[in-house]
Amino acid sequence: MAPGVEGRTGAARGNVFACMGFLREHWPQIAFTNPIERVNRAITRRADVIGIFPDHGVIIRLVGALMLETNDDWTVARRSMGLETLARVTDTSIVTLPAMAS
């Protein structure tokens, strides 16, 4: 181990192994990695089985775009107050911007 690393890792040891405080049967359900990386790996694994994409970047861009669209649809559907509802409770009117000339 490099000099000085032992002191730094010792201070973080409690945070790194905090998940070990849970019951052992819960350990498989604890996600240790970044959720986005986990999704990207799952997408890549499924796409590799099909074998139709030329490289990893194409897969991530395509599925990432689909995920963003799904998230946008979900966010709008889950909105508790739409613009019409907010217009009824505020004194200011909804401002619309003119379309840009192309």
What are the extents of the domains in the chain? 20-75
pLDDT of residue 16: 67
pLDDT over 60 (residue 1): no
- pTM equals 0.35
**Chain segment 10-63, per-residue pLDDT in tens:** 666 666 677 777 777 777 666 665 667 777 777 777 777 777 777 778 878 888
pLDDT of residue 79: 66
Torsion angle of C-alpha atoms 42, 64, 29, 16, degrees rounded to 10: 110
From the list 23, 41, 22, 21, the residue with the least C-alpha distance to 33 is: 41
pLDDT of residue 73: 80
